[in-house]
Each structure stands twice: as C-alpha cells, then as structure tokens.
Structure 1
Amino acid sequence: MPIRQFQAQRMHAPRDFQSIANLPICVEIGAGKGKHALLFTEQNPEHQLIAIERTREKFLAMQKQHSIEGQSNLQPIHADALPWVVHALYPKQVQQFFILYPNPEPHNPAQRWLNMPFFEFLISRLQSNGSITLASNIPEYIEEAEQQLKKIWNLPYEKQVIAKDSARTHFEVKYLERGELCQQLIITKPESYQTRFDDFQPLQGQNAQDTV
C-alpha cells in the first residue's frame, strides 16, 4: 500500500525534552521495564544505549532497576518515541535500533512500524550498514513486515527464529514459555541507501551544548 511522506516538522518536543550529543548510539524503542536494555549495556560496555519507554509505570521500573545496576552506558528516556527521535537524533547517528515485541495494532494496521511514514525518518537516523532488529511472536506481523521491506522500503534483511532459551524481554520469556514461535528481522541499511530526510537535522538538537 502507498505510504505518504512523514511530516517531521509538525512534531512537538516531548515534555522535559533534553538534547543529546551527535555521537554514535544504539536506541531501543518501547523498552518496557528495561530487561533488554540492562542486559545489552552490561554485555556491550563499548556501546551507548538510549532506551525509550512511553508508559510511566514501565519507565519507572526500568529507571529503578538501572539505579541498582548502574550501567553508565544506559540512558532511560520517558517519552513517546516518534517526537523524541525527530527532536533528538541526527542523520546517520544510530548504530542499532531495537524494536522488540511492539504492539501489533490488530485494529489499526497503519500504526505498525513498517506501515508508518515515520519508518523512512527512522531509516535516515541509521548509520550505513547499521541495523534495525524487529522481533514479534505473531507470524503475520513478521510476514507483513517482510513484504513491506521488499515492496516499499527496498531494504535487505535476515529472518531468524529466536532461540527457545532467549530471555531478552519479559514478553519474550512469556511467549517462549508458552511454546510460541518468536521471530526477528535483522534489517540492514546499505551504504548507498537514501531517504528524503538525510539532511534533516534534529528540531532541537542544535541547542545541545555538548554536541560535537
């Protein structure tokens, strides 16, 4: 189905928004209570991860656990991901995006990640040869995403079955214990890939004092 162009300039900044430096980072969207974010930053101390969660209760749980574990390379953010990404991230800044078990939006398919105009903007924030990991326990969700990657976005990807002993998120643990098939797409951005937002600077990023 055709996808209209995303209107980035119409996005209002999240409440209490703070700019970030233009340095390589990883970003998890919909981080929940932070199980994957905490695990990833512990196992990959050389990577900086920003973990975004919109739901206050889940964000506070992540923040609390982070205060206990104390990974200096993790920054939890309480915000809606779309306006935060538009206001904070620079072109080709992100090494990896993680979108693990997003809401499948059964009654509103236009809100699924690869069906949204915003997905083009997300790609513009990704480094060349960077990756987007999209995981789901719903085969139809993965199948539709594959079709969109082929027909709309023209992006290469690898489809993987997630190991039964994987435990990256609370949802993943629950689904695998039920015996459900969990799959992920590892989407890669080629060197030559272009979007209409490649020169679009963050709406408030220029105000960051520590930007390099």
Structure 2
Amino acid sequence: MTIPDIRPFQPQYLKAPRNFQAITDQSVCLEIGAGKGKHACLFASQHANQHLIAIERTAEKFQFMFRQHQELALHNLQPVHADAIPWVVHALYPEQVQQCFILYPNPEPHNPAQRWLNMPFFEYLLSRLKAGGQITLASNIREYIDEAEQQLLHVWHLPYQKQKIVKESARTHFEIKYLQRGELCQQLLITKPQGYQTRFDHTLPQAGTVMP
C-alpha cells in the first residue's frame, strides 16, 4: 500500500448528520453536491437499474431536488440533505460505490485545502469506491482541473482521463450557464484500479468501526 503524502483523515471524530438514516450495503452510485438535482434526476431516469444517492447540503436546493424527485417518481433516486463528509463516513461500506459524481464543486478560492482532491477525506472516499469504479470531477475553472491532475499524479497515483465537455451538454444548471457563456468546461474521469489500497479499506460505516 502506498500511503498518500497527506495528513491522515480522522473519521472517528465525525458525528452522524441530523436525522441520519443508514442504508444497506447494496451497490450504489453517489453524487456529492447535487444542487437542484438536474443531473441526479437525469441519471436516475436513464439508469433505472442503478441506485443513486444524491447529497446536497443547502436546504433550498435540496428541497427543489426533493420535489423534482417526487414529481418524476424516480424510485432509484435517494435525495439526502446532509453534509457529504460525515454522511459518507456513517453510511457507506467499503467498495460500495460504482460511480461518484462531483460536478462543478465550490472552487474554494480562499481555502484551497478544502478542494476535494486536496482533502484527506478523499482517501476515505476512495475506500468506498469499487475497484474499477469511477469518479467524475467537472469544473469550468482551468486551474482547478490542473491542480486536481497534479494531485492525481503525485499524491493519489490514480489513472484518469481528461475531457473537454461538449457545448451541448446540460447535466447541471451551472454547466448550462457556463457553456452558454462560452467557457471551457472540463472533467476528469478518475478510475480506481484493481489492487488499489487505502488506510480505510476495512473501516465499516460508523466512524472508527473496523472489520476484524
């Protein structure tokens, strides 16, 4: 196992989100920062055999997504109103996630340490991803993508593909707005290879609980 050159994540200090409800250990897809749920609803409608958990922290955006979910009767979509980090720690099992979407996250211009691939939590997230599973990270900020590439190469040692997002794409409200402005939108398709190991591969959902 190659230990990433980053301070270790400490899940044992995170409390469960308010009104937390555990899930089963079935395979799932995950969207972090789902916003108003445009991509979540689209994905769920196009992949009826996959269960998508869409997490959004902001109450107003979550309520919009929840209403869309109910109107469309998408039984394979589970909207969750929570902060993603403690929710993932308390809810997800090792190698449970098939795909994870992080689409146009807050670039944290004044706090780069809070960008997803700069955080120790990213190692924990990788432990929840199945071997062969994929994380899609999209942004309209070139520097954000460039920095994430460097982290993948030098910290996480993960294979990825870098793609330019076509102007016809309309996965999120942000994506539509950025592409209409003529901005460059890019994504990294990050794959977890077979045999990739983290320090949390045997950590069960519930912070600090470890399989024998």
Same fold (TM over 0.5): yes
Secondary structure, aligned partner of 2:110? coil
1:3 and 1:111 map into 2 onto residues whose CA distance is 13
For 1:58-207, list aligned pairs within 5 A.
Answer: 58-203=61-206
Matched AA of 2:199 = R
TM-score normalised to structure 1 length: 0.95
1:2–1:190 CA distance, 2 compared to 1 (3 A): closer
Unaligned ranges ≥5, structure 2: none
Secondary structure, aligned partner of 1:141? helix
TM-score normalised to structure 2 length: 0.95
2:22 and 2:132 map into 1 onto residues whose CA distance is 25
* Aligned twin of 2:52: 49
**Structure 1 residue 185 displacement after superposition:** 0.2
1:8 and 1:75 map into 2 onto residues whose CA distance is 23
Count of aligned pairs between the two proteins: 205
Deviations, residues 39-89 of structure 1 (Å, cap 9, x unaligned): 000011111000000000000000011111011100000000000000000
Secondary structure, aligned partner of 2:95? coil
Matched AA of 2:65 = M
Find the partner of 1:37 among 40, 44, 55. 40
**Structure 1 residue 2 displacement after superposition:** 4.4
* Aligned twin of 1:27: 30
CA RMSD of aligned residues (A): 1.2
**Structure 1 residue 178 displacement after superposition:** 0.2
Secondary structure, aligned partner of 1:196? coil
**Structure 1 residue 155 displacement after superposition:** 0.3
Deviations, residues 89-126 of structure 1 (Å, cap 9, x unaligned): 00000000000000000000000000000000000000
Secondary structure, aligned partner of 1:71? coil
Moved over 2 A (4+): none
